Amino acid sequence: MDRVAAVQEIFRQVFDKDAMTVSPSTRRADVSDWDSVAHVKLILTLEDEFQVRFSEDEISSVDTVGDLLKAIDNHVRADT
Amino acid sequence: MNCQPFELHHIGILVPDIAKAVESYSSRFGYRVNGERVHDPVQTAHIQLMSLADSSPQVELVAPDGPRSKLANALKKGAGLNHLCYLTSDIEEDCRRLREGGMLLLHAPVPAKAFSNRRIAWLMGRDGIPVELLEYEL
């Protein structure tokens, strides 16, 4: 499973929507349930899935799914 | 992680209608209202504290103040246990320590109208239960 698909699967889990689709351009504002609690659940689940720890700045500056993918990439690359 | 034990101040219960919930908690369990019902524009919620005759932790009934409330999404998923609130004597230090322990900050310290502008902060860990920290009364 590629990284976008893996992130989409996590969105489906967190938002409890089996058919949910996201792309790098999906914005927080596009997902009505993406509030602060859902954001923290997303971040914690992504951290567990990809074995990374996001910084405060990364967590607070996320506006799109692409921002999350970029942050994951940065950490995964830094660890390899 | 060892730390000084926190003191549980209240249990937050999300309800759609404060008046009905007050009646229910009074008649079922003997809770009495504690202070006035408050509208907190920062939390976008109506809030009513209730307590038992003993020194048990209070319950805080919280209801969204409208469809745009921060609590509206949570209520769509169902009413019920919403958060646990612990007292703190150093809110910044406890936020820092809990973040180091794996919790994430939902909301940095901010004055809370329901508590005479004592500051509250919000965090959440992997158990998914939001935790509120409330400064002790001076």
Higher pLDDT, B3 or A39: A39
Which whole number is the average pLDDT over B1-26?
92
The answer to whether B106 faces chain A, any CB pair under 8 Å, is: yes
Q: Do A40 and B106 touch (CB under 8 A)?
A: yes
Q: Predicted confidence band at B68 (pLDDT cuts at 50, 70, 90)?
A: confident
For chains A and B, CB pairs below 8 A equal: 28
The answer to whether B124 faces chain A, any CB pair under 8 Å, is: yes
Helices (H), chain A: 3-15, 36-50, 56-60, 65-79
Separation between Cα atoms, residue B8 and residue B57, nearest integer Å: 6
- Chain A hits for B128, Cβ within 8 Å: 41
- Chain A hits for B106, Cβ within 8 Å: 36-37, 40
Contact predicate B132/B122, CB 8 Å: yes
HSE-up of residue A3 (Cα within 13 Å, Cβ side): 13
Separation between Cα atoms, residue A13 and residue A7, nearest integer Å: 10
Name B50's bridge partners: B33, B59
Per-residue model confidence as pLDDT tens for chain A (80 residues): 689 999 999 999 999 899 999 999 999 999 988 988 899 999 999 999 999 989 888 998 999 999 999 999 988 877 66
- Chain B hits for A41, Cβ within 8 Å: 124, 128
- Is the confidence at residue B3, as pLDDT, over 80? no
Contact predicate B125/B137, CB 8 Å: no
Of A41, A56, A59, Cβ closest to residue B128: A41
Q: Do B107 and A36 touch (CB under 8 A)?
A: yes
Of the residues A37, A43, A62, the best mutation for testing chain B's interface (the one with the most B CB atoms within 10 Å of its CB) is A37
- Please report, for residues A10, A16, A23, A78, B101, the alpha-carbon distance to residue A5 in angstroms, rounded to integers and kept in the order given: 9, 16, 9, 22, 30
Of A78, A76, A5, A65, residue with least CA distance to A34: A65
Q: Is B60 exposed, middle or buried (0-12, 13-18, 19+ CB in 10 A)?
A: buried
